[in-house]
Structure 1
Amino acid sequence: MSRQVPAQQRAATVARLLQLREAGTLSGEHVRLAAAGHGVDERTVRRWLQRGDQQRAVRPEWHQLSDTDREAYAYFRGNVTALARARAAVLAGETRAAGVPVPPFLIDGWTGAAPVALRTLQRAFAEQMTPGERAYWKTGEAGRRAAAAYLQRPWTPRNQVWELDHKQLPILLLPRRGGAVQPWLTSVIDDGTRALLGWAITLNPSTATVLTALRMALTHDPQRGPFGAVPAHTRIDRGLEFAAAAVTDALAALVVGQHRLPGFTPHLKGKIERIHRTIEQTLLGGLPGYTRGPRDAAGRLHGPLSDRARDRETADTAAVRPMRLERFVSDYFAPWVAWYNTERPHSMIGGLTPLHAWNEDPTALHRVDERLLRHLLLAGEDKKVGPYGIRHNKLDYTAPELHGRGGQVVQIRYMPHDDRQIEVYAGGEHLCTAHPQGQLTDAQRDEFRRHAKDEAKQLAAARRRASRRARTVLAPLSDGQTGETQTNLVARADADRAGRRRDDEALRRRASTSLLGLVEPYALPPGQTYPKPTDENGR
């Protein structure tokens, strides 16, 4: 069986054979060569020649679409059958098609046009409109973008360009208070290595969330790997949280360029959009409460959880409850990020993991001391110092510098998903770094006790100095005095002790042994002895 030869190839072969025939040089060898090249029989090639018309070798264009036809395609949302029905009604002199009035601009445009069959119209639209045009009028901008071709961004070294974005995670989680919610993820990725450098999960995105994610991306933490340095540029969208003055000022303070993309152009930051889809495919899809999972005929999710509004409000008291937000972050999302950065190969970076790609890149990194980022890139709120320190996220944070500040309102700054420490500020100045009491090391406990003893000693010394000053008062001035005369007042207890000492000394001076009938010993002359003692009878 002869195979189907594309029309354009067939046209080129027929045109060449016709030239050879007109020149008188056409031979059977030429026909056999053409047949072998197309994989068809010689008789097929001779039939092409018998038609003798190069235009017949190409499928004719049966109908040329007019501007009205294209407008009608948009009006009927790509429904060619409805378009053909309305067109036929107009050509028949009617103003209605299928009982619906035909718009006047279509009536004016189709008046006097030639009739065309439905199949011809379908073929004309398929051939004369691109897939992007047809998708745009059927599904809108999303369809056009799906059919569009894009330029790839040039490769960038590690940590040169970051992409930032928000995404609402399609999973039901239970916060500390209230019903079930779908939290928001704020993420920061490296354009060159696809590494997920910083992230924060909250109930609603805010400026503090963006600052927290940026701080994680900027801070070098050996527990998270070699990541953490200042980039050259950031790529962000038009979200109000990214355009806030706190974010732009913080990036400007670090001399980081900011490229704000046009609104509603997710394809311009496709790398972070792809990571968000990977999170959904490899993590969220296998967890209970995934809201994009299969549903039954009534629209309810398969499984024990429901995402209906009524069920969300009562999720905290339901028999089967969604996962707690804190547990999701600590037991699922944070380990997933470590796995993604260190173990998952990425096809767009040569099958390497983000960690491997980062380590293989020799581009210099510029790091910033973490202490300089404390006040710059942290979420914050006001807290009161209690008897056990500062209560935050159900933990008591303490530090030696908090001694004596019970009841004082201070400002704390923290990373929402890092309970290892918080930064404490008093009056806008950094006071200390506080750690949870249950996680203090022996050295930190010793430092806490030592600081408490030193503070007690300092206060005692200050109290003694204050007491000494209190004993000195200014005497009243009399007429004619030009200076101040000081008199010393002694405390009552000290005066009593001093009085008792003076009385004891006076008694010792006045004491005499003669009162006891004793003779004071003295030296006798030579040859004499002391008389023998006798009783009252002289014996």
Structure 2
Amino acid sequence: MHAIDPGLTALAEGGDAYRDKFEPVYRRTTTAPNEQWQMDHTLLDVMILDDKQTPVRPWLTIVLDDYSRAVAGYALAVSAPTSERSALAFHQAASRKRHASWVVSGLPDVLYSDHGSDFTSARIEQVCLDLHVRLIHSRVGVPQGRGKIERFYRTITTELLPHLPGFIPHGTGGTPTSAPMLTLHQLDDVLERFIVDEYNERPHSATGTAPHARWRSGSFIPRMPAHSEDLDMLLLTATATRRVQRDGIRFASTRYVSPVLAAYVGEDVTVRYDPRDLGEIRLFRDSAFLCRAIAPERSSETITFADLQSARNTRRRALKQQLRSLSDVASSLPEDTRHRPAAAPLSPSEPDAPAPQSKRHRLRTYAND
């Protein structure tokens, strides 16, 4: 008696069992870095403390280079994924990193994601259109094409999270093994160190090469936007306008300064920022990039009093030169007599005024002459 084909059994059971186990899967093979990036979200198996010291499970958004398996960027949050979160992860992935050894950057030819509402939003579609990136979504309910990024999630879950306070083992119904202690910012630091110092630098089991080394191999030069400010305009979080004050910009209870702002006191600008790095903000005026402003107490950069004094003096000299130019132009124009009152004509009834007589010199005489 012959055993029943397992595929036949799965097909008879109906549902997606046959498709998930037996249907052939086409895996697109990339041949160069940044040819295709994958982006996806996952709910991490760890509890952390939010701003109100309440235990919450954070969401992780990952951008992975398909060819090298290197993590290009990520974003952490305590709320469900949004298009704004996806844009922030994409911004970090495409930008040059502050961490010198994290070299992955540039723009991909293809961005591959699932059918989540944040990935199918008009904002992400417009971003990809403006940056000349082809956006491709996986088939609804078919996750096999995202196997490489799912593998990274398993690496995080098995190698990093078990060593953190608040870890939630699989099958415990969401109960952590210890009390959560980390904040979102602290978890962000831990995750970045793991990605940059460990995951991207050790040989990958599928390629046999460290992701960073594979991404840097050959004569590959990443495609960058024409202007770095284009990424800021498209991907960073925007807020309401702020008015430039004499001491800079007030945003998020913090003062931001830049010498450029000396010429825009009293005018409104739009603030764009990265919630993970409030050491600096980007300022736009009429949809055009204006400058980057820093918070002296948060940023590693500094703006000295001499910088501000120089900016004030430069602005004052520019205004004085403009005033002199306008004065020179005004003095060279002919005198405007259009509004000068005309002399009043003499009334016909009035006699002509006597003509002025010239003064005559008479001979002086004396009484005894």
TM norm structure 1: 0.54
Q: 2:83 aligned to 204, 207, 225, which one?
A: 207
Deviation at 1:392, TM superposition (A): 5.0
Q: 1:426 aligned to 278, 285, 289, which one?
A: 285
Distance 1:286 1:135 in 2: 42
Moved more, 393-402 or 145-154: 145-154
Seq. identity, % = 25
Q: 1:376 aligned to 230, 234, 237, which one?
A: 234
Paired letter, 1:328: L
Distance 1:288 1:201 in 2: 17
Secondary structure of the structure 2 residue equivalent to 1:403: helix
Q: 2:165 aligned to 288, 304, 309, which one?
A: 288
Q: How does 1:465-504 map to 2 (within 5 A)?
A: 477-479=340-342
Residues 413 and 424 in structure 1, CA contact (< 8 A), matched pair in contact too: yes
Instruction: Kindly indicate whether structure 1 or structure 2 has the higher relative contact order, using CA contacts under 8 Å at least 6 residues apart.
Output: 2
Q: 1:235 aligned to 99, 112, 137, which one?
A: 112
- Aligned match of 1:417: 276
Paired letter, 1:377: L
- Aligned match of 2:258: 399
Residues 73 and 92 in structure 2, CA contact (< 8 A), matched pair in contact too: yes
Larger radius of gyration: 1
Distance 2:150 2:304 in 1: 43
Secondary structure of the structure 2 residue equivalent to 1:274: helix
Deviation at 1:160, TM superposition (A): 0.5
Return the structure number with greater strand share. 2
Does residue 214 of structure 2 align to residue 339 of structure 1? no
- Aligned match of 1:101: none
Secondary structure of the structure 2 residue equivalent to 1:366: coil
Alpha-carbon displacement from aligned partner over 1:160-193 (angstroms, at most 9, x marks no partner): 1111111122222233357332222222111000
Secondary structure of the structure 2 residue equivalent to 1:348: coil
- Aligned match of 2:72: 197
Distance change (3 Å), C-alpha of 1:407 and 1:285? farther
- Aligned match of 1:359: 216
- Aligned match of 1:181: 56
Distance 1:386 1:336 in 2: 42
Distance change (3 Å), C-alpha of 1:245 and 1:151? closer
Residues 62 and 71 in structure 2, CA contact (< 8 A), matched pair in contact too: yes
TM norm structure 2: 0.75
- Aligned match of 2:363: none
Distance 1:392 1:277 in 2: 39
Secondary structure of the structure 2 residue equivalent to 1:231: coil
Does residue 96 of structure 2 align to residue 220 of structure 1? yes
- List alignment gaps of at least 5 residues for structure 2: 331-335, 345-369
Does residue 347 of structure 2 align to residue 452 of structure 1? no
Distance 2:163 2:12 in 1: 34
Paired letter, 1:452: R
Return the structure number with greater helix share. 1
Residues 269 and 285 in structure 2, CA contact (< 8 A), matched pair in contact too: yes
Alpha-carbon displacement from aligned partner over 1:196-247 (angstroms, at most 9, x marks no partner): 0011122332222222222222223472533212222121111111112221
What RMSD, in angstroms, separates the aligned Cα atoms of the two structures? 3.8
Alpha-carbon displacement from aligned partner over 1:341-377 (angstroms, at most 9, x marks no partner): 5422211012x11011112244453223423322122
